[in-house]
Amino acid sequence: MTALIGLGANLASDFGSPAESICLALFELGRLSQTEICASALYESEAVGCPPGSPNFINAVVAISLPRDHGAEELLDLLQIIEKDFGRAFDPQSNAPRSLDLDLLCFGSTTCSSPRLDLPHPRATLRRFVLEPLAEIAPDLILPGQIEPVRELLDCLPPKPWVRRLSGI
């Protein structure tokens, strides 16, 4: 089962800068995967919907492969443990700055809606900071419930808020 996970951070953690935290989180996610992970480059994006003055985010997307007996909610539990290990404080304020955010974007062809989890992620197709790195690793992927591939969904988004690929990382 292939899971796609969006990573984001705009605060330093005990492990370093947001970019360093994302890189280390990719390593941790690789430990969950049965095969080599497929990760995008790092991207910087405007802090959308965050309190004024929030720092920009560092983002990436990774594909990991899990055994068929792993469920989506089990993976969500593991993602939340990793977030906590990176010092993520669960702020009741939506879109608060964070040291690490791991969003389960899709879990194979699974679709679900529960109090804990919606799959595919309901806002993934509306977010340039998700679609740009996702298009880098899976441009022809058609997410569950969509009819266009990721690259076409990305082409339909407005240019703002901005996202830029970081070089040399």
How many CB atoms within 10 Å of residue 101? 21
How many CB atoms within 10 Å of residue 24? 17
Residue reference for tokens 């947001």: 18
- Rounded to whole angstroms, the Cα distance separating 143 from 135 reads 12
Three-class SS of residue 117? coil
Residue reference for tokens 């806002």: 123
> Which sequence positions are flagged as catalytic?
88, 98, 101, 103
Residue reference for tokens 């266009």: 148
